[in-house]
Amino acid sequence: MSIKRIDGGVCAPKGFKAAGMHCGVRKNHSKKDIAMIFCDVPCTAAAVYTQNKVYGAPITVTRKNISDGRAQAVICNSGNANTANLDGVEKAQMMSDLTAKALGIKSEDIIVASTGVIGQSLDMEPIAYGISELPKLLSVDGGNDAAQAIMTTDTKVKEIAIETEIGGKKVRFGAISKGSGMIHPNMATMLSFITSDVAISHEMLQKALREIIKDTYNMISVDGDTSTNDMVSVMASGLAENDEITTEGEDYKKVVAALMEIGLYMAKMIAGDGEGATRLLECRLTGAKDIPSAKVIAKSVIASSLVKAAMFGADANCGRVLCAMGYSGEDFDPSGVAVWFESAAGSIKVCEQGCGLKFDEEFAKKVLLEKEIVIKIEMAEGSGFATAWGCDLTYDYVKINGDYRT
């Protein structure tokens, strides 16, 4: 069964409309700052949230709203995270109530999200204005506007739509995401809203989401910081009219495969668009003791400031890779490690049996000057494997985060 990439985003599956606009949370009038996604019918819903102990007020409200496994709309602003302020939960609840009223649905069916500066009070006036206007703008062509409206320091709009067949029916999945800074492997590390018209139970949808998260969104690191506000949610309308998936059979596996496709695409998009990034880094690790160990080591490599800075400088420094593996906390035999740097320009082996090799520096530079770099690692511990994504550490990362609020 094949998965086909199609045009569009969250509005590709049956039943969904979306919109994005500038409401005034941000000063810059040309930057959209509020997004709405709406489904004609109530959806089965699932979500995973940040593991940060300090989490945003919207997380509190969303977790409560979709605890019954049901949702019908998403409301999300950028520019202010509505976190670490005195009246955050109250205002997140207000966003939910206003959205429900504007759409004529229940407040418990709203997914509320905010992203932006932490620790400042959210001005409700522009939010209320936005929520009153958005329903008029909702359309099946509005996905891209919604994707734009949730961006913060992202430089690229992140949306995807795919089509597959489940239970003899054409089923679609769509998604929009925002990423950039504060991205680190720890459950739901950014905002991603996934839609589908598949018919599936809440339990199976939540299970499928958890399953793919650990190999996709949770394998990204931009700067090692786990944000307070991040979540990945899925709404499934059931309008594809396949037999409702309630067990882990073939159909369930197809849902997992589709969500995996979306997750992998977004993981790479988010990592490659990390704040100030000029390169997407992919660490492909094999031969670890087991899969959890492989994940920890691959993430340690991708998260190392020294590895990231070396990649920015196109410096084939295998010592940085070995060092980051070594402090991952996992036990292994360094003398069983081999390392390659790979890209569209070729492949170069820089380490064998834990020792640095002499290599053609000029060719290495050529390999590392490409936009997408693979750090391939072979270990001699067992059959554990993992892939993690990150980006280089650049002057612009420092610049962007040196003066984020002003």
Residues marked as catalytic: 189
Closest distance of CB 234 from its own copies, Å: 24
Choice from 48, 66, 199, 322 touching its own copies (CB under 8 A): 322
Which residues, 6 or more positions from 67, have their beta carbon under 8 angstroms from its beta carbon? none
The stretch among 39-47, 60-68, 115-123, 170-178 that binds its own copies (CB under 8 A) is 115-123
The pair of three-digit structure tokens given for residue 123, joined into one six-digit string: 């001005």
Choice from 109, 330, 342, 381 touching its own copies (CB under 8 A): 330
Pair type for strands 384-391 and 70-80:
unpaired
Q: How many CA atoms lie within 13 Å of 101's alpha carbon, on the beta-carbon side? A: 10
Assign 352 to helix, strand or coil.
Answer: strand
Which residues, 6 or more positions from 65, have their beta carbon under 8 angstroms from its beta carbon? 71, 96, 107, 108, 109, 110, 111, 112
Q: Are 212 and 253 in contact (CB under 8 A)?
A: no
Is residue 382 close enough to count as binding its own copies by CB under 8 A?
no
Is residue 78 close enough to count as binding its own copies by CB under 8 A?
no
Is residue 119 close enough to count as binding its own copies by CB under 8 A?
yes
**What helix, strand, coil percent values describe the chain, rounded to 5?**
35, 30, 35
Closest distance of CB 94 from its own copies, Å: 17
Contacts with its own copies in 29-58 (CB under 8 A)? Answer: 51-55
Choice from 111, 220, 294, 350 touching its own copies (CB under 8 A): 350
CA distance 219 to 80: 26
Is residue 182 close enough to count as binding its own copies by CB under 8 A?
yes
CA distance 211 to 192: 16
Residue 12's H or E segment, with its range, is none
Choice from 14, 184, 254, 299 touching its own copies (CB under 8 A): 184
Which residues, 6 or more positions from 192, have their beta carbon under 8 angstroms from its beta carbon? 175, 176, 177, 178, 217, 231, 232, 233, 266
CA distance 140 to 93: 27
Closest distance of CB 401 from its own copies, Å: 3
Choice from 83, 152, 153, 218 touching its own copies (CB under 8 A): 83
Is residue 81 close enough to count as binding its own copies by CB under 8 A?
yes
The stretch among 92-100, 162-170, 203-211, 329-337 that binds its own copies (CB under 8 A) is 329-337
Choice from 27, 86, 247, 362 touching its own copies (CB under 8 A): 86
Contacts with its own copies in 259-318 (CB under 8 A)? Answer: 303-306, 309-310, 312-313, 315, 317-318
Q: Residue numbers of the site for its own copies (CB under 8 A)?
A: 51-55, 81, 83-86, 117-121, 181-182, 184, 186, 223-228, 303-306, 309-310, 312-313, 315, 317-320, 322-328, 330-332, 334, 350-351, 353-356, 361, 393-395, 397-406
